[in-house]
Chain A
Amino acid sequence: NAGVTQTPKFQVLKTGQSMTLQCAQDMNHNSMYWYRQDPGMGLRLIYYSASEGTTDKGEVPNGYNVSRLNKREFSLRLESAAPSQTSVYFCASSTTGGSGANVLTFGAGSRLTVL
């Protein structure tokens, strides 16, 4: 059981280039998320998809777009990369835990550097 798989693990871009981060989960979770992690700032939500066919903005959506391709896959696109988007990106999916709240399962991360 692979859990949450995201690709690529590492990417270097030049300012203005575009790229797409791919994410897939095999746990039949309804909800999926994209976070970015910057030193000292924790995990900040970029976009999420509560269910197949829906997407919503999180805390820091500017400069990004997402696509919920199907129940398994949720991609994050940078149309014109900027140095401020240098970060580690994490995809996650969630189900309802025993406490009734969303329990997130994270991918291993994608380190993106924009020069």
Chain B
Amino acid sequence: GENVEQHPSTLSVQEGDSAVIKCTYSDSASNYFPWYKQELGKGSQLIIDIRSNVGEKKDQRIAVTLNKTAKHFSLHITETQPEDSAVYFCAASKGNNNAGNMLTFGGGTRLMVKP
């Protein structure tokens, strides 16, 4: 089955700096890679996702890059703000409209943005 490794497990940055979280996956058939943000006391929410036919996707201060050959993908947050502080999870799946194609999650990264 799929195995997703996520690094680092904790990341501390100054407000305004950039933050990068990296994930690797093992199953070359995976083609859908979402990122979820979990704020304290809340459930995780999808913040951005990418499919394997795209190398990069941006949404305001957040971007995700994908290297299919190397089987890794990364989350980039620019101009970090205190409200970006949360636990971030990457995930991988074969990504079609089938509940049986489950997401495999990475271990999570706790991001702390210091004011």
Contacts and interface: CB of A to CB of B under 8 A. Distances in A.
Main SS at interface, chain A? strand
Interface in B7-49: 9, 32, 34, 36, 38, 41-46, 49
A42 B107 contact: yes
Contact of B32 (A51, A92, A101, A105): A101
Interface stretch (B66-74, B78-86, B91-99): B91-99
B14 to A, nearest CB: 25
A104 interface: yes
Nearest to A43: B105
B52 to A, nearest CB: 11
B51 interface: yes
Contacts, number: 83
B27 to A, nearest CB: 14
- Which of B6, B103, B107 has the most CB atoms of chain A within a 10 A radius of its CB? B103
Contact-residue bracket for chain A: 20 to 34
Given A99-B51, A109-B43, A44 B99 contact: no
Interface residues of B, number: 31
Given A42-B106, A100-B95, A101-B34, A4 B100 contact: no
A45 B46 contact: no
Given A42-B4, A44-B105, A97-B49, A102 B99 contact: yes
A103 interface: yes
Interface of B: 1, 4, 6, 9, 32, 34, 36, 38, 41-46, 49, 51, 89, 93, 95-103, 105-108
